[in-house]
Amino acid sequence: MLPIAMTTGASVFLIYNAIPCLHRFGPMLSDIVGWLQPMFIFSMLFLTFCRIEPKDLKPHRWHWWLLLIQGGLFSLLGLVAYLLISMLSVERGDWVVLIECAMLCLICPTATAAAVVTRKLGGDVPGITTYIILINILTAVLVPLIVPLIHPIEQIDFWAAFNMIMAKVFPLLIMPCLAAWLVRYLFPRLHRWFLKFPDLAFYIWSLALCLAIAITTKSILRSDMSLFMLMMMSLISLICCVFQFGMGRFIGRAYRSDCRSVPAMTSSGHADPSRHADPSRHARPDRASREITAGQAMGQKNTIFAIWMAYTFMTPESSIVGGFYSIWHNIYNSWQLYRHSRS
């Protein structure tokens, strides 16, 4: 499903770009995409929260380690760039853009779709949903503190930047949560009806991915950056992607008791009824569930938000790294889902 969505998204933009008579519809199509993306995100999160009880959203120890690693590396890169520019009088250049690219890959919050992938892989959905909230808060605090050191922005102080980030991400986190819990407690029959469609969020994500890849293709093809810089951005995003998925899974393995075991899923995404009869034999191991969850929490990124951060707070050219990262983490997710379906 994911390779099809990625191929479709790239192909649609390439066809559009190759037919000049379609370009006049560009502004209208941009408006449509701008409307569809938040609708898809809202729908995915609503369906996810329908399966989560409020008491399940609580921090675990592995959450704090992931936050420390992401926030610490982001801050360290920012301080290194600041020292080079201010104290050593190193001229600003393409290397600053590359450092910003790495910083974006590290601090970018977890994608809302990570909960969908985590569920398909048999991970802990409440655990990753909690981390999505925590990493967005950390991003809203650290970006206004660190980025001005290397890229000062006039007329935007800490609180202005903090409020801009919170206003960008939290309506799409809080509103689906409130809507889902209102349906759960006020309209239980409607809530049970939503639960009859366990794969709906996954299909919505496939549509959202199609749009995201189209935007990614556009940003790469219409970039004015040199081929060398594009290759370096691609390499940086790949290194950050591999590091974060790997580190997340490593941290997950270290905290066996912090992540609940969940029923294993069939290739279609449904819980396997045969595996409920003998949980000790068939339930997904606690360790595997935690490893999957922490890996997705740290590795799967909200790259559309990363592109927005680059345009708003950093050098606009660094936004391209969000597109490259989107390609890498979706290739990895496709491989994970394929391997899971074959197991």
Q: What pLDDT score does 225 carry? A: 81
Domain boundaries, the chain: 2-261+283-342
Cβ-based neighbours of 115, under 8 Å, separated by 6 or more: 44, 45, 48, 125, 128, 129, 132, 201
Single out the residue of 235, 114, 244, 112 nearest to residue 171, CA to CA: 112
Q: How far are the Cα atoms of 48, 65, 201, 238, 309 from residue 114, in angstroms, in the given order?
A: 10, 18, 11, 18, 20
Query: What's the topology of domain 2-261+283-342?
Result: Na+/H+ antiporter like fold (1.20.1530)
Structure token pair of residue 73: 């590396």
CA angle 146, 152, 155 (to 5 degrees): 110
Q: What pLDDT score does 92 carry? A: 64
Cβ-count burial of 280 within 10 angstroms (0-12 exposed, 13-18 middle, 19+ buried)?
Answer: exposed
- What single letter denotes the amino acid at residue 119? R
CA distance 299 to 246: 8
- Compute how many other C-beta atoms are within 10 angstroms of the C-beta atom of residue 17: 15
Q: What pLDDT score does 280 carry? A: 32
* CA 117, 119, 123, 125 torsion-angle sign: positive
> pLDDT tens per residue, the chain (343 residues)?
667 887 888 888 889 888 888 888 888 888 888 788 888 888 888 888 888 888 888 889 999 999 999 999 999 999 988 888 777 665 667 788 899 999 999 999 998 888 888 988 888 889 999 999 999 999 989 988 888 888 777 777 778 888 888 888 778 778 888 899 899 889 989 989 988 887 888 888 788 888 888 887 887 787 778 889 999 999 999 999 999 999 999 999 887 655 444 444 444 444 444 334 333 333 444 667 889 999 999 999 988 888 888 888 888 888 889 889 988 998 999 898 888 888 7
**Full-model pTM:** 0.82
Structure token pair of residue 5: 């969505």
For 224, the 3-state DSSP assignment is coil
Q: What pLDDT score does 88 carry? A: 65
Q: What pLDDT score does 211 carry? A: 84
